Structure 1
Amino acid sequence: MWIVTIIVIVILLLIAVILFSKIKVDVWVRKKGKDDEVVFKIRMLYGLIRLHYELPMLKIENLEKGIKVEVDKSKNIGQEKEAHNETQVNKRKVDHWLNVFHQILEATESLKAWLEKTLSRLSISKLEWSTHFCAGDAAYTAVASGMVWSTKAFIVGWLSHHVQLKKSPRLFVVPTFDDHPHFTSEMSCIVQISCGYAIYAGLVLIVRVLKVKGGVKRWKSILSKA
C-alpha cells in the first residue's frame, strides 16, 4: 500500500513539474546588407528538450520567384544539423497559405477568439531591436529614420495589446549620414508560455474542432497536405 502511495505521489509531482515548466522560444534575427540570418532556439521541460532552427538565407530574387529560404534544423544546440531544406516563398505560395488559413477558420469554432486568448498568455521577457542604416542622401536618411521609428512603435504597440511585455522593449534607430548606402538590423526576443497552459490551449482547440461538422476531416486533409 505504501509503495502504491509513493508511486502515485511521484507521478503527481512529475505531472505538476511538467505543467508548471515553461516553453521558452529565443528568436534572433540579423540583416546586414545581403546577409541574412534567423535563429530559433526552443527549450522545454527545463532544457531537457531543445530544438534549434536556422534560416541562414532569405534571398529576394525577383517579384515572380519571390524569396528563397534555406532552413537548417537540429534537436540540440551544438549538435550537427539534422536536415537542410530549401523552399521558395512567392505569391503563389502566400496565396496557398492564406487559403489554408481560411480553411482552418472554417474548420474550427471561434478560432480568432482562441488565438487572442492564447496570445494573451504569451510573455515577452526580452525584446531588443537595433537598426543602423544610411540611404545615401541626408534628406532621404532623415525621412527613412522617422519611418523606421514609426514601424517599430506600431509593432510594439500591437504586441502590448496582445501579449504580456515583462520588460520595456529596447529600440534603437541609428541613421548614418554618409555617401554609401547600407542597412543593418538586429533583433533579439525571448517568448515564454507555461507548458500547462499550452496543453490546455491544445485541448481547447481540439474541442473547438470537434464542435464543427466535418472539422476533424478538414484538419486531417490540411495536415496531410502540409
Structure 2
Amino acid sequence: MTLWLAVPLALLLLVIVLVMSSSIHFHFRLCRIGKDDRIEFDIKALFGLVKFHYELPKLIYEGIARGVRVKLEESGIAPVTREADSVERIDDETLRDWRDKLKEALQATQGLKRWMKNLLSHVRITRLDWSTDFSLGDAAYTATATGALSGLKWGLVGWISRYVRLQRSPRMFVVPVFRDDELCFSTEAVCTGKLPVSSVFYAGIQLLWRVIRVKGGLSRWIRLLKNKS
C-alpha cells in the first residue's frame, strides 16, 4: 500500500515541479502598411500543450461618434479548444465602461498598482524590434521628423524598461522615404517574451489576499468578472 501511494504522489510532485519551472511565452506583432492594419498575439504555456492565438485583421475608424470597429479572431489548442470570431466597436461608451471597471478594481483591491508592477517585473522581453518607414511629402520635413520620431520611440522603450526586463537591446529603425508631394507610412513592431509560471502562481495568491483584505472586495471582483463582456 505504501508503494502504491508513493508512486502517484511522486508523479504528482514531478508534474508540479515541471509546471512551476515552465514559462508562459508570448509573441506580439503589429503591422500597418498604408491603410492595412494587423495585430497578432500568441500565447504558449505548459511546454506548448496550451496555445492561444488572437488576431485583429481589421481596424476601421468610423469617426469620433462611432469610434473604431475591430474584428477579433481567436483560436487555441488547450484542454478545451475554442474558436470564435467577433466584431466589436470601441467608442466613447466602451472607454467609459473600461474606466469604470478599472476604478472598481482599484477600489476592490489593496495596492493593485503595486501588485501589477511586481508582476511586470518578472516579465522578460527577449526580442523587441520596431521599424518605421514614412514620408511627409517634403524632404526637409521628413528629415526633421525622422529625428523626432526616433527619439519618441527610444523614449517609449525607456519607459517600458522601467517595468519589464529587456534581455536584449531593442532594435529601433526609422527610415525616411524622400518622396515629394506623397505621404506614406508603414510600421512593424515585434515583441517576444516570457513570464515564469511560478511568478504567475505567486502573483495569483497575492492578488487573492489583497482582494480579501478589502471589505466586499471579493464580491465586487466576482461581479466584475461576470460583467466582463
TM range (shorter): over 0.9
**How far does the alpha carbon of each residue in 1:62-103 deviate from its partner, in whole angstroms, 9 at most, with x for none?**
1111111110001149xx982111111122211221111111
Structure-1 residue corresponding to 2:183: 181
SS of 2:161's equivalent in the other structure is helix
Task: Output the amino acid matched with 2:56.
Answer: L
Which 4+ runs in 1 deviate beyond 2 A? none
Structure-2 residue corresponding to 1:82: 83
Structure-1 residue corresponding to 2:140: 139
| Pairwise CA distance, 1:7 | 1.7
Structure-2 residue corresponding to 1:118: 119
Q: Please give the alpha-carbon distance, in whole angstroms, between the structure 1 residues aligned to 2:3 and 2:34.
A: 66
How many residues align? The count is 224
- Write out aligned runs for 1:67-216 (5 A): 67-76=68-77, 82-179=83-180, 180-216=182-218
SS of 2:179's equivalent in the other structure is coil
1:72/1:81 contact within 8 Å kept: no
- Write out aligned runs for 1:45-60 (5 A): 45-60=46-61
1:145/1:175 contact within 8 Å kept: yes
SS of 2:195's equivalent in the other structure is strand
Task: Output the amino acid matched with 1:104.
Answer: A
Q: Please give the alpha-carbon distance, in whole angstroms, between the structure 2 residues aligned to 1:30 and 1:204.
A: 36
1:39/1:53 contact within 8 Å kept: yes
TM superposition score normalised by structure 2: 0.94
| Pairwise CA distance, 1:139 | 2.5
Give the stretch that moved more between structures: 148-157 or 31-40.
148-157
Task: Output the amino acid matched with 2:107.
Answer: E
Q: Please give the alpha-carbon distance, in whole angstroms, between the structure 2 residues aligned to 1:102 and 1:139.
A: 46
Change (3 A) 1:76 1:205: same
2:26/2:194 contact within 8 Å kept: yes
Q: Please give the alpha-carbon distance, in whole angstroms, between the structure 2 residues aligned to 1:74 and 1:56.
A: 14
RMSD: 1.6
| Pairwise CA distance, 1:9 | 1.3
SS of 1:75's equivalent in the other structure is strand
Q: For structure 1, which runs of at least 5 residues remain unmatched after alignment? A: none
Structure-1 residue corresponding to 2:33: 32
Q: Please give the alpha-carbon distance, in whole angstroms, between the structure 1 residues aligned to 2:94 and 2:147.
A: 32
| Pairwise CA distance, 1:135 | 1.1
Structure-1 residue corresponding to 2:20: 19
1:119/1:163 contact within 8 Å kept: yes
1:38/1:56 contact within 8 Å kept: yes
TM superposition score normalised by structure 1: 0.95
- How high is the sequence identity, in percent, across the aligned residues? 37
1:51/1:75 contact within 8 Å kept: yes
Q: For structure 2, which runs of at least 5 residues remain unmatched after alignment? A: none
**How far does the alpha carbon of each residue in 1:130-173 deviate from its partner, in whole angstroms, 9 at most, with x for none?**
00111111232123222321221121101211111000001100
